[in-house]
Chain A
Amino acid sequence: MKKIMTFPMGGVHPPDSKEYSNSFSIRNAPIPSLAVIPMQQHMGAPAECLVNVGDKVEEGMLIGKSTGYFSANVHSSIPGTVKDIQEIYLPTGMKSKVVLIELEGEFRKPGSKSDDWRSASPKDLLDKIVNMGIVGLGGATFPTHIKYNLKPEVKLEYFVVNGVECEPFLTCDHRLMLEKTNEILEGIEIINKIMNPQDIYIGIEKNKPDALAVFEQTIGAKGLPFKVMPLKVKYPQGDEKQLLKALIGREVPSGGLPLDIGAVVSNVGTVFAIYEAVCLNKPLIERIVTVSGTAVKTPSNLKVRIGTKIGDLIDECNGVSKKPGKIIVGGPMMGFATADLNAPVTKGTSGVLVLSVREANLAGELTCIQCGKCVAACPLGLNPTTLYKLVDHGLYEEAKAESLFDCKECGCCAFVCPSHIPLVQGMRLGKFMVKKQKVK
């Protein structure tokens, strides 16, 4: 029996609510008749739009070119005609240029699998990742090529595959691990070739025993040198900082990257996308989205083309079973609420959740009673109540001095707060105001 690990500080145990959708196989969502493809689907600079209204595009054609190093390519998810180019607000609150593509013409025939990568150079493979627009699919959408582009003198110690999926409700990574085990393992081999780490860990929480078993089995059968690591169920273990603390006992320094402690982390979805990009020459134009929540009639795990409207996905799941109170893009702890059913699925959309009115209604806010639950829950050792008060009083610089910018908005503090204080909102406001004052 392996030691079951977890991170020591903070964390919460929300009900994982995976039972709504974790037994349903991934199925294809309908092809959108109109794909809405944002140029900003990743962290960093938006892609530069390469098409004009009226242009014919093919499936998988490059329509947004990465602008500089900290950016990513964007491809068309369907064949068709560019109908319009607009600026819209995405559920994340970011404004982005979007390309509207009307479905028309032929789909690409799926190419046969190629094993050429085994003889390719790491540089070529990295270029492939850049070209295919691969970004982290866990939610942060950090451009993958930046993570993998190590300086020649750097010797990577650990590559960690993140199969934790600690957000309640979401099961897209879980299903992917069960159904595409071989593909994910081949993806890891590709990454192994690019970065050549000393150790490769696959971290999976104990609430997915079937995924743990299938990975153990397949890795054993193939004789691959990867280690499957069972983890205790605790939110936010899927965050790379907490995951690395749990697996290798090191802490990513404040403001630093995992690479600073000799590790790189990628989500299983990203690994699968890399496999498809390298072996099938397929750009990142599809992803798995969990459609779930207490108010969805048929919770599902769908394979969705980027640019599909979230309203169409809910329709595909037979609509709602009770009056919806809130629609969340992403998970319930860190996702974004939206009222726009025309909002598109982007590379970072891991889930679309519909909550009933009863669950959506917020309890009234009371005053802070200094209970310290938020302090105990913070996985980063911050003092959320004090930070919130500083921000509330407009003392933004003081909040910054109390490490406001270390906060990653995981939501543990607001989850446990008995007075229902919107702590995460306070942190976001504080960060926004500090940045705004700097611009002035």
Chain B
Amino acid sequence: METKNNLLISTSPHIHSPISTTKIMWIVALCLLPAGVWGVFNFGINSLFIVLASVVSALLTEFIITRLLGRFTLLDGSAFLTGLLIGYNMPPDIPAFIPVLASVFAIAVVKQTFGGLGRNFMNPALAGRVFALFCWTEDMTRWSPSMLSASDAFTGATPLSQGPAEFLSKSGSYLDLFLGNISGCIGEVSVLLLLVGAAVLFLLRIITWEIPAAYIGTFIVFAWVFGGLTDGGGFFRGDVLFHTLSGGLMLGAFFMATDMVTSPLTRKGMIIFGVGCGFFTFIIRFLGGLPEGVSLAIILMNITVPLINKFSKPVKFGLVRDNNNEAGK
């Protein structure tokens, strides 16, 4: 071989798994698409406009800020994903300036102020949603009826604002909840399609079971044990199925609580995080003044992540366990 060459020198390892951050972001966005398409079918073309408005404003905000900083990050997909999630978290007939401002807030204040992708301490999309919820509460809680629902949904109230008894007697069935023939935010209504997207993420190992399982599991337990008290059934009489299928729980548990940046590092930490999300979702949904608690619960737990990381460090090899026990599990 000739000795003059352009050989690359770098530290080991010299091979790499095929996954990359950019791929992760775009795959998550792809997995969210079916639920959004359903939302557009369900609520009409205006909801597509809402989603596009939030995506475009998120991308534009990211572009302007990173341009000022001399970088270009649009292709990493994170701003797109944030915009998409904000759109999914909006009621279908909201004035378009609200999702736009929510996206600007999410990207400019929550994400870029702290240094961009990977450095934000709470989920930007959720922060944007909560920002909008507190600024324009009335618009954020005015629901348009589902166009696909068989019942004459004249009020357009969401299942959660009606409560299980009223919903099931007047507006629809559990199957409607599962398929998404209900009113609600654009991207959160179709549990079925969200689960399909989540299944793909599981298979590709982009999300792991810990956070969704701990989140939904904890929520189910609390909703079952105590949920009946506020819904009128008593202890151990909560309508678990109704509460699991309604609201933003599925979107939150699979697509937002699992946001890598704002969730803990270790398996132990992820379980603590999920349990906390489930608990606070229950508290806010059943005892709080708002009908829905997913976004606030996740944001609250986002803030505790550094603390959780501190107390859930991995167990180091060869430090703790007793070596005379043949503990080869």
Residue positions of A touching B, CB distance < 8 A? 5, 8-9, 12, 14-15, 168, 241, 245-254, 256, 261, 311, 314-315, 319-320, 324-328, 330, 332-339, 341-342, 353, 355, 359-363, 366-372, 375-376, 378-383, 385-386, 403, 406, 409, 411, 414-416, 418-420, 422, 424-425, 428
Q: Nearest chain A CB to B209's CB is how many angstroms away?
A: 13
B214 CB → nearest A CB, Å: 15
- Contact-residue bracket for chain B: 35 or more
Extra contacts besides A241-B317, A366-B118, A386-B265 (7): CB < 8 Å: A9-B317, A241-B318, A245-B328, A335-B12, A369-B118, A406-B318, A420-B16
Q: Which residues of B contact A (CB under 8 A)?
A: 1, 3, 5-17, 19-24, 76, 115-119, 260-267, 270, 313-319, 321, 323-329
In the bound assembly, the distance between CA atoms of A327 and B265 in angstroms comes to: 35
> Roughly how many angstroms separate A372 CA and B321 CA in the complex, as a whole number?
23
A-B CB pair tally, cutoff 8 Å: 189
25 contacts between A and B (CB under 8 A): A248-B328, A249-B325, A249-B328, A250-B326, A311-B1, A326-B10, A326-B14, A327-B7, A333-B15, A337-B10, A337-B11, A337-B14, A338-B7, A339-B5, A339-B9, A360-B8, A366-B22, A375-B266, A376-B266, A381-B314, A381-B315, A383-B314, A406-B316, A411-B12, A422-B11
Complexed CA–CA distance, A52 and B253 (Å): 73
Contact pick for A372, options B17, B264, B323, B328, CB 8 Å = B264
Check if A383 sits within 8 Å of B313, measured CB to CB.
Answer: yes
Q: A314 contacts which chain B residues (CB < 8 A)?
A: 1
Check A249 against B117 for contact (C-beta < 8 Å). no
Min distance, Cβ A238 to any Cβ of chain B, angstroms: 14
- Decide: A355 and B14 in contact? CB cutoff 8 A: yes
Given the interface pairs A311-B3, A372-B264, A415-B16, the reply to whether A428 lies near B11 with Cβ below 8 Å is: yes
Q: Is the CB of A409 within 8 A of B1?
A: no
Residues of A within 8 A of B316 (CB): 254, 380-382, 403, 406
By DSSP majority rule, is chain A's interface helix, strand, loop, or mixed? loop
Residue of B11, B22, B325 touching A425 (CB-CB under 8 A):
B11
Could you say which residues of chain B place their CB within 8 Å of the CB of A5? 328
For B5, B16, B23, B329, the residue with the greatest tally of chain A CB atoms inside 10 Å of its CB is B16
Out of A246, A336, A367, name the residue touching B119 (CB < 8 Å): A367
Min Cβ gap B114→A in Å is 11
The 4 closest A-B pairs by CB, nearest first: A249-B328, A411-B13, A371-B260, A367-B118
Query: Is the Cβ of A367 less than 8 Å from the Cβ of B10?
Result: no
Chain B residue numbers with a CB within 8 Å of A168 are 15
B residues in contact with A342, CB < 8 Å = 3
- Given contacts A385-B265, A418-B21, whether A8 and B329 have CB atoms under 8 Å apart is yes
Enumerate chain A residues within 8 angstroms of B270, measured Cβ to Cβ. 372
Contacts of A253 in B (CB 8 A): 318-319, 323
Contact partners of A336 in chain B: CB under 8 A: 12
